[in-house]
Each structure stands twice: as C-alpha cells, then as structure tokens.
Structure 1
Amino acid sequence: MVRIARVSLVVLLAALAVFVPASPAIAGTVADYPEFPYPATTYSEPFRGQFHFSSQAGWMNDPNGLVYANGLYHFFYQHNPHSLEWDTMHWGHAASPDLVHWTQKPIALEPDVHPGTLFSGGGIVDRDNTSGLKTGPLDPIIVFTNTNGVSIYYSNDNGRSFQPYDKGRKQIEIPEESRDPKVVWDAARHQWVMVVWSDRGGRGVDLYTSPDVLHWTFASRYAADWLFECPDLVPMTLNGTQQWVLTSATSEYVVGSFDGRTFRTDRPQPKKMNQGTTFAGGTFYAAETFSNAPDGRVVQMAWQGGNRGSSWTGNATFPAELRLVDSPDGPQITRTPVAELDSLRADSRSWQNQTVSPGSNLFGGILADTYEITATFDVASATAAQFGFALHSRSDGSADRTVVYDRAAGTLYGKPLAPTNGEVTMRLLVDRGQLEVFGGDGRFSVADNVNFDSAAVSQGIRLFATGGQVRLKNAKFTRLSTSWGTAQSTLESNLAGPWHAAGGSWTDTSGGKQAQSTGDAFYLSASTAGDAVYQGDVRLDTAQAAGLTFRAADDGAGYTANVDTSGVVKLWRPGRDIATYATPIAAGSTHHLEVRTTGSRIQVLLDHGTTPVIDATDDVFASGRFGANAYHGTATVQNLNTGPGGLDAFTSGAWTARGGTWTTTPDGLRGRSPDNGFYLSDRTGTDFTYDGDVSVTNGTAAGLTFRAAADSTGYTANVDSNGLVKLWRPGRDIATYATPIIEGRTYHLTVRTTGARIQVWLDHGTAPIIDATDSTYPSGRFGVNGYAGNTLTQHLAIT
C-alpha cells in the first residue's frame, strides 16, 4: 500500500515517482453518497487493458476486501477518483459475475462519509450472520480498514452502500503503527481470524480471533523482517492436509500451521510467488485473495502500478487460481489464470512438432492486439542459445517486448525456470498495457506492465530462435476479446443485459442512466415479456419527456408511458397517443411510474398512487423488450424493475417530494437529502395509528411524518443515529428517547394520535417510548422524512 505519511518517502519515490497529486483530492458528503464521479469511457484508450481491470478513471492501488457475495465477485481497491496520483484514499468498487467481465460501480467507502483512515483492508461474507448485522435477504459484506487499529463497515445491499459499525470507532486499538487487516474463516474452530500488519519493534503481523467479526481477542504475533504490509492468511490443502499460507505485499510467503491462536512454520525463509517488480508501484504488489470463492477456490489479484493512461493510473493482475504443491524445497504456491478466461476466446491457431530456426517464423501473418500464447519447447534436444516470442513486432525487426528463454542461464524473461522433463512451457497473456508470463505448471509467474503499440503495423508476433534450433512440441495462439461493457455501472435493474441504445447517447451518472437526445431515444434491455408489472424512476433534467418503454422491438417501437413537461402523463406508441392524464410535471422533477399490462389492457400509475391515472386498451404490440425513453433533452432513469417489489404503502393518490430525491428500489423507498427532505402522500388524517419501517442507510435520521401541510410543515417521529428516537415539529423537539440507533439497521415505528396526545412505539414494543402532547397541528398529510443522509422506508400502513 502506498502510504506517504507512514512509509519511507525515499523508498517510495524511488519505486514510483508520482506522489504529488495533480489536483486536490475531494472527500464527499453523505447526501451525495455513493459517489460516481467518472467520465464516460469505451475502455479503448491506448494502453488500457482489455481484460485486465483498471479503474474507469482516477488512481488505483491495492486490492481491498475481495469477496464473492450474492452471485457476484466484488473487487474493492485503494482509489483516488479525483486525480491520477495517490491522495485521500477511497475504496473503489467493481463487480463481476465471472472474474473476467468487470463493471465499475460507485464508490464503496468515501472519506467524510465513512469515518477513519480508509487504507487497505480485507472483507468477508457473513453467510451465517454471525455478526447479527443482516437486515434483509442478502448476505452481509463486511470490510475492515483503518490504521493503528481496525474499524468495520458493512453492506446489506450487495455492496451498493456501506455503513460504519459503531460509527466507525476502532474495534481493535493498536498503539503501534499498523494497517491492512485481513480476515479469514477458521472452519475447524468455528471462528474468524484477523491478521494485521504492525510494527511492534519490527515487522510482523498480529493475529486476532472472533466469534462474530465484531469483538476481537488478541491471539499471537508472528514477526519476520520480510513481512511488510498487506498480509494475507490463507488456508490451503496439500496432500489432503490443511496448511496455512502467510503472504506479504512483496509477494513473499511462508507455509505453516495454525492452531487457532498461533501461526508457526518450520521453513521461515520466504519464497516469492511472482517474479515481477514486487515493490509499491511495481508490477506485482499487495496481492489479496477472494473470500468465499465458490468451490473452495483460492483466487488472487494484485496491483500493477506501472500502467497509466490519459484518465487512469494502475491496474490489477488477471485473476489467478492458487494451489499448493510439493517441491524439492517444500510446499510451493502455483499461480494459474482462472479458467473463466475461456469466455474471451475468439479465433485460434495451433501447431504441433515444428522446428524453430533462425530466420523462420511460424507466427508470420498473424496480427493481434490482445491474445494468449501457450507453447511447449523441447529443451533437451535444442541447439538454440535462446528462443521465444517477439511481441507486437514490426517489419523493421523491432518489437515492444521480447519473451526469451535462455538455455545457458536457465531463465525465462530473465527469471530462473528450470526445464521439467527436458521441456519448457510458457504461457503469455498479452494485453494493451500488461504482459503476464507463466511457466512450470504455474510455479513460475511474472507480471509486467508494457505499453504495447496497438497500431496495425505493430501487431505482429515473431517466434524465433538464435544460435541454433529448437523443437516446438506444440503451440496455440488465441485472440482474446474485450471484457468491458457487459453490465450496468449505475443503473439498478433486475432486467437482463446486454442493454443497447436506440437513439441518443446514454451515459452513467450517480443518479442512474442519463440520456441526451434531440428526438426520441430508447435504452433497451434484453428482457422481454407480454404481461408484466414494470416500474421505474425518471428524472426530467432538460428533457421534455421521459418514461418507461415496454413490449418494444430492437429499435424502441412499442409502448411508452412517460411524464411530459407539457403537463401530462402519456401512454403512446409510434403514430398514436393512446391516452393522457393532465397533471403538473415540472422540469427537474423525479417521478415514479408503474405500468401493468394484461393482454390488451394497459394501466399506468404515477408516484405511488394506488389508482391508475391511465387505464386503456391497445393490442398492436403483444410482447417485447423492456427499457426506457427520453425525448428532446436530458433525462435520467433509475431502478427499472419488473415484479411487484417496490414501496408497500397505504392507499393514496400521487405522492410529492418536498426536499431531497426519492426513488424506489425493490427494497422500498430510498431518500437522499443534504438536510430535511420529505415525501408526502395526499392522504390526510386526524386521529390514527401510523406504522412503518425506516432505516438510516448513511447519515443522521429517518422517520414518519404526519398531520403535515402540503409544504411538509407538521410532526415527524424519527430514529436518529446520534442515539435517539425523536418526536419533533419545525422549531421544537417535543420529546426524545435515548437508545442506540445503528446505521443500516431497520427500525419499526408506530405513531398513535388522539387529539393533542401523540404516542410513539419502537420495534413493536408493548409500551410507548414517547407519550407527549402538542396541539399545533390537528390534521394533515402522511409521509416520510429523511435528514442529512440516505434513508430507506418500507411497509407504511394507516389504521
């Protein structure tokens, strides 16, 4: 981990002379979390890896908290999204279904939103809810970071947002310099184990144990001069016996045993698992393995700091599966690219039993940009002094990089590799800015950064031998396709991809997918249906209209239900306005639309109203794609989902926002506000019982509003993360009740009014926690409130 304040600046500058930020880094606010600040890219820039992950923009270094959770691999990483240099660390986030096709996601941990020093750390998936932090159907992702101690953050929405546990206070205090906590499940003893790098009079790691990942007990210390930064502790199997592998940021490792408290090894001299430049900013540093990987695989990714382009700095190595094997020098790790690489394979060519001589080139005529080569050479019968591949070669004989096996030195790419049974096998992954070389059945690996020239005149490959001949037993060339652009970064949806645009331009923003168009523009999923419930949020920026498209062809021809600033909700298809509903629609407003189709009957509901504003029939399009539409300007769509999920609430007409932004996910109503924001129904009441579930995702308070005027002036009962349940009205806190309120946890509030008497219950308690009187507002609207943060509301009922 690059840490200017805590690591020798002289050493780091020698390794990577890029530490002065080009522009000041920026910390965020709760109201705009999660942040997605990236400019649009097609990931086709020079030197941008096509199958190696790099951040969409900004600086990246160490992998952090790698987990497989709820059907996705999550790759978090040290990140400065506001500059190409190291500064003010965030945790970036990308997700993949297969370790190959990565999609950039919004910021996971953000300074000023998440307290603490957000340096490197690990993550776990709490499948058995040992922590008790689970609040919904998804397994919690829990991550660990901070310096000179450890803080905990968790997500119950599969990494979409994270909350600090105990307000980010350190759950482990370490007085000495320390960082980089990594946590692993010890199945034999049913406990969690944490390894943290610390400098207690010298380099080493501290080990802690916990039954619930929240409360930790110091167990032991393992000291070693080679052990510096970003440790990983990995249980692996060798010959049917469990071993424990302890690694360092520098790629060094030892293999030993762990008895539940103490790590021991009888081979304390470390080995290196990668022969790249293993220092901060080199080509292989701070590697970390995934927690909870399927089938018990051990999968690793590392930081390659030598790659940079016009909008990004740094990339990750291609994921490699680790295994533990016997060797003459004791247990050894092997690294092999994950099998999922097959999903990128395109055309290929193969050779068998060929002689490679000076001046010959079996690969002549092949032009390639990103590809894989595997080749096995008979070294025992060779007379060539050297042989190998010149990559991205040109007609003048030059090449961007040469991979050579030197028989006399016994080296591949300048690193020791002895033949196996008289043979040498090399496997090359060639990307635009990356080269990875593997050999010896995974015992040999080198990660490197190379600025390959992707121009057609520089895409040659030359298989060569010098000073004699070598027999090529077999070889295979395979072109590798790009891994980018297969999923959505910020558009939340349960619809299947790939998506495609039909008109206009569609880009990722923090609020969702944004369209810019002069006429009609459509963004269409691969999901199709006839009868369905389809809903989503649309925001009119400068556009005249935006809405939901359904039963559509590839070009968008189908039905669209939209909101239009001319003052209507409209159901239309090409050539006909089927039905309209007159209502004020303002520029800059966000609206929730729901469409229900049954045969030729089409109903449209607006802003959580329970009665359709349009109920029409049309039988032109029986089935087709789901998507979104924008017309004449800029508009943003979000939370495009089929199925009944959404806000479960009492009968009402259309709801209205009074401050903040309110959108609807399958989990419920999400609010986002820098101060007080309200979302009000048109239903009113005087004496009643009002129930609902509320959660402060990140920030201060969330609650139920009642007896309110159209401008939101009324009463609110809320839960406040400062440790209160509060009943208040503008200008006065009527009553409070002190109790811990944890961000991310769902609380049930019940409000009962009888004249001036107002009672509040928490979590179905048998007695009210607040019983007060106030006669300022005798009657008014029902709604919800959020204050200074992100909130979630669900299951609103009035009796």
Structure 2
Amino acid sequence: MTAVTATTPDAFRPALHYAARSTWLNDPNGLIFHEGVYHLYYQNNPEGNVWGNMSWGHATSPDLVTWTEHPVAIACDELEDIFSGSIVFDRHNTSGFGTEFKAPLVAVYTSAYKQASEHHGVQAQSLAYSLDGGYTWTKHAGNPVLSRGSSEFRDPKVFRYEGDAGSYWVMVAVEAQDFEAVFYKSEDLKSWELLSSFGPANATGGVWECPDLFPLAVDGDPGNLKWVLTVNLNPGGPNGGSAGQYFVGDFDGTTFTSATTVTKGLQDPDRLGHYQWLDWGRDYYAAVSFSDVPDGRRLMIAWMNNWQYANNIPTTPWRSPMSLVRDVSLKGTDGGWRLVQQVAREFTSVPAGTPPFMAGAGEISEGTHLLDGAAGSVQRIEATFMPGTAEEFGLIVRGNGTHGTRIGIRPAEGRIVVDRRESGQTDFHETFASIDTAPIEPAGNSYDLTVYVDQCSVEVFAQGGQVTLSELIFPASTSTDVSLYAAGGTATINSLNITQYA
C-alpha cells in the first residue's frame, strides 16, 4: 500500500477527540466537574511535541464534546517535573488553603525531583491550590506532603471517603516497580497515614501506574455497591505495550479486597487473556475518572497512544489525542462482574454532517463489498451481525478499495479483531502494524458493534460496551470508504446505521 505522510500541519487532527493545539500530551490528570465545567488536565510538554518538561496542560468543556485549551496550569521548574495526579474540591476547607468566602480546589500531584533539588531522584506527593476555579495554581510551600524516599512512588488519585469507617480523604498511589497500589488517609490533605496496600496481582508485565478507586452500583442497584480498582501498566498489555486493567471487590475505608484476582503475585503469562482489561486495543492508557460528576455518573477518559511508539506517531505540530469520554457502569454476568463502557451520552447530540446512512438486513457474501453512499472520515457506525459459515466477517473503515482498517468477528475463535496492517501509514515504528484481538461472546446469536471513526482513530464498543478496543490509525485523507466483508463463507448484516459528522 502507498505510504501516507503527514505533509501539512494538523494532518490527522481529530474532529471528535481532544488534542493539544501544538504540543505533546499524555496521561489525563486532575479530572473534575466544577461550577458547571469539566476540567481536563494532562501531562504536557509546553516546549515540544515529544515527551519532556512534564507540566499540567489544561482544557475545559461545558459538555464533554467541545474543548477549549488554556495556558499551562502547573508548570515544571528547575526543581521538579509535575507528574500525574488528581484534583479535589475541598468544600469544607480542610486544607486551610481557602478563604472565608472561597473553598479551594486542591491538586495532589507527583513531584519528580531533579538534580537541583534536595530531594533529587525521589518521587513524592505534593499539593497546589486554586481559588479561581482551576485556572491559576499556587504550589504549597510545604511540599512534598508525602514521601516514601522512593524513586517510583507516583500518580495519586484522591477522593473523599464517606462510610462506616468515617469521613476523610483517601489517596491511592502506586509503587510502580513493586506492582503495588498503596492507600493513605488524611484529614487535611497535608498529613497522610498509611492504610494498606494491594498487589502484586494479575498483570505485572510492566510497571503499575495511574490507579483509580471508585464505587459502582451493580446493574444500577444502589443497594449492591462494589468497588473498582483500576491500574494501568507499561508494558504488559494483552496485545502489546501499555494498557489498563481493573479489579472488582470491596473497600472498607482501609483495605481493598479483590474478588476478581486471577493471579496473586507476578503474572502467569498463560493467563494474560483471562485478566480484566479496561480496553483490549493498543491505544487506551492511563485511564482515570472524573470527580464530582452530577447524578452519580462515573466518567472516564484515557490517553490514546501506546508507549511503544508514542513519540513516533506521524502527527504535527501536536502529538497524541485523548480518547472519547466514556460512561462506565458495572454489570453482573455469569462470569462475574464486568465493566461496561459507552461513549458519554453527550455525543448523541453532536450534529450530523449529512443524513445518516441506513441499510436493512441482508446476506454478506464472501469478499469485500463497498457501501455506496457510506463514505466518511468522521463517523459513528452501529451494526448488528449474525454469523453464518464465514470464518470472519465485519467492517472495513477508512478504506481504499480492499485496504483499510478491518474490524471483524471470528465466531469459531470467540474473538473480535482490529487489523490495522493496511490502515494507512504504519512504517513509522516496527510495532504499529498489528492485529489486535479480544474475547467476545454472541448475545442471542448476534454481535453488535458501535464504532467511532475519527481522523486518526477507531474506538470499538462491542456487545453493548462489554468489550472495547481503541486504536490509532493514520489513513490517507482520500481513504474514506466503508465496506462489509466476509471471509471463508457468508454472514448476515441485521442492521447498519452510519452517522456522518462534519
């Protein structure tokens, strides 16, 4: 296939996903809904489009769809890089950073101390506060507030715990190279007491990073709450490189107890496919959730890239998008609890660029079948299939003839596949051209897919969001075809609806 090259500024810039204007970004940080606004902070290099000079970039949105980029929120300096962390609204001013009339937002972040610092080589937790709703920040004079003397202690997620054990702040952070989540409590965000630790468990093929801990109602029943611990790791993902996993269990205010641990201690390589993954794709990392979202919603967003090739993706002047924001819920299944992820409902109101493409039921004969009138660069595709004799069947998106990104079902194997070997430009890194798979089971002998296609990505939500795969792609601007295909036999398309975005 002819190579595709980003020859013009902003080639591949997403239409639906957030990306910084002209710089590098990675992990989302400090996610919070405050005074009617969603705040997305993120690891940012203000000076370039590769990793370095780690600071907190900042964007806001009223609706999770349209984002406005702001100046750097918390900047690195000669003493420290500003690594990942979280923000809380200290409504009762427990920290004392507020005033008589204004409660503060408090950022809890990892200080990665540099050569010039007396803490050189240490990663420790520090504070900054804002009295103007999160736009300007002042670093706490008493930083760091929590140090273990460790070079790999990072990524604090802080929330307010209210339960039988009392009312206080809880922090979950990681000892990255020990594959361990550590839990602390505090009354004032400044003094911290160790509660417990969790791990190693399940996937330990790479360092643990960016943890999160939150309760979810099973099947929407508020009387049946479980706690979800998410841990991202690099490398060690199910299809290579970085990824995120989750555990479901209980948290009593002191200890997290997992009910879904498959492997205690270091992972068994043969069980990698049995762990619970946030996303089976190559490009969904450092996922964390927003705080203080109305109506008890749990919203999550991730960095859409993979550390294997993150600095090499062919975008300019920016590098790396975020995923779409997802509504996360917990479902009870015969195999245990499973996270269900759907694109945040706000995206259903995004105006379509043209009338939708719709097709009724029909047989998919062997081969590739171009859908006239379905072409587009930015789309939501909703499709339901039934298997027949085909070994594999599905969709080709951002296509050019038979080439494109292939999203298929292999019913005999019980797998869903995203094949990006012919997705466009792939030669910028040896690991990018890939076939990535995840387990999938039919529901009533059918498979449903919702696929969000953007200028440089596909996000696949299968079986109502029980299985997700997120993948970067870099197709030619002229590769806009949508096709159905079947290999080794036939299949049936029950319904197909394509929403085109301008």
Structure 1 and Structure 2 fold alike (TM over 0.5) = yes
Distance 1:98 1:168, change over 3 A: farther
Distance 2:101 2:33 in 1: 16
1:234-253 mapped onto 2 (5 Å cutoff): 234-238=214-218, 239=221, 240-250=223-233, 251-253=244-246
The alpha-carbon deviation at position 187 of structure 1 amounts to: 2.4
* CA RMSD in angstroms, aligned pairs only: 2.1
Q: Residue 229 of structure 1: which of 209, 218, 226 is its match?
A: 209
Distance 1:391 1:137, change over 3 A: farther
Distance 1:138 1:480, change over 3 A: farther
Q: What residue is the counterpart of 1:393 in the other structure?
A: 399
Distance 1:331 1:350 in 2: 34
Mapped pair 1:402 → 2:395: no
Q: What residue is the counterpart of 1:133 in the other structure?
A: 97
Mapped pair 1:448 → 2:471: yes
Which amino acid counterpart does residue 142 of structure 1 have in structure 2?
Answer: V
Q: What residue is the counterpart of 1:93 in the other structure?
A: 58
Q: Residue 415 of structure 1: which of 429, 433, 438 is its match?
A: 438
1:132-281 mapped onto 2 (5 Å cutoff): 132-135=96-99, 140-145=104-109, 146-147=111-112, 148-165=123-140, 167=141, 169-176=143-150, 177-188=152-163, 189-198=166-175, 202-225=178-201, 226=203, 228-238=208-218, 239=221, 240-250=223-233, 251-269=244-262, 270-277=275-282
Which amino acid counterpart does residue 433 of structure 1 have in structure 2?
Answer: C
Q: What residue is the counterpart of 1:430 in the other structure?
A: 453
The alpha-carbon deviation at position 410 of structure 1 amounts to: 2.0
1:648-663 mapped onto 2 (5 Å cutoff): none
Distance 1:368 1:99 in 2: 23
Contact 2:47 2:53 in 1 (8 A): no
Aligned-partner SS, 2:64:
coil
Distance 2:314 2:372 in 1: 30
Q: Given the two structures, how large is their TM-score scaled by the length of structure 1? A: 0.51
The alpha-carbon deviation at position 345 of structure 1 amounts to: 3.5
Distance 2:367 2:224 in 1: 51
Contact 1:44 1:50 in 2 (8 A): no
Q: What residue is the counterpart of 2:335 in the other structure?
A: 329
Q: What residue is the counterpart of 1:741 in the other structure?
A: none
Distance 1:155 1:308 in 2: 36
Structure 1 residue ranges without an equivalent (≥5) = 1-42, 278-282, 482-799
Deviates more, 1:304-313 or 1:339-348: 304-313
The alpha-carbon deviation at position 133 of structure 1 amounts to: 2.5
Contact 2:88 2:158 in 1 (8 A): yes
Distance 1:205 1:352 in 2: 49
The alpha-carbon deviation at position 272 of structure 1 amounts to: 0.8
Deviations 1:250-270 (A, max 9, x none): 311111111111111233224
Identity rate of aligned residues, in percent? 31
Mapped pair 1:112 → 2:77: yes
Mapped pair 1:288 → 2:288: yes
Deviations 1:573-604 (A, max 9, x none): xxxxxxxxxxxxxxxxxxxxxxxxxxxxxxxx
Highest Rg: 1 or 2?
1
Q: What residue is the counterpart of 1:644 in the other structure?
A: none
Deviations 1:422-473 (A, max 9, x none): 1101111100011111102111000110002222xx2111122233332222
Q: Which runs of 4+ in 1 moved over 6 A?
A: none
Distance 2:260 2:375 in 1: 47
Mapped pair 1:464 → 2:490: no
Q: Given the two structures, how large is their TM-score scaled by the length of structure 2? A: 0.80
Which amino acid counterpart does residue 94 of structure 1 have in structure 2?
Answer: A
Q: What residue is the counterpart of 2:21 in the other structure?
A: 56
Mapped pair 1:355 → 2:363: yes
The alpha-carbon deviation at position 362 of structure 1 amounts to: 7.0
The alpha-carbon deviation at position 151 of structure 1 amounts to: 0.5
The alpha-carbon deviation at position 138 of structure 1 amounts to: 6.0
Deviations 1:389-446 (A, max 9, x none): 111222xx23331111122222212322111111101111100011111102111000
Aligned-partner SS, 1:318:
coil
Aligned-partner SS, 2:84:
coil
Which amino acid counterpart does residue 310 of structure 1 have in structure 2?
Answer: T
The alpha-carbon deviation at position 54 of structure 1 amounts to: 0.9
Contact 2:374 2:498 in 1 (8 A): no
Which amino acid counterpart does residue 274 of structure 1 have in structure 2?
Answer: D
The alpha-carbon deviation at position 349 of structure 1 amounts to: 2.3
Structure 2 residue ranges without an equivalent (≥5) = 1-7, 113-122, 234-243, 263-274, 418-436
Distance 1:476 1:362, change over 3 A: farther
Distance 1:215 1:360 in 2: 62
Distance 1:266 1:90 in 2: 37
The alpha-carbon deviation at position 360 of structure 1 amounts to: 7.2
Deviates more, 1:403-412 or 1:127-136: 127-136
Greater relative CO (CA pairs within 8 A, separation 6+): 2
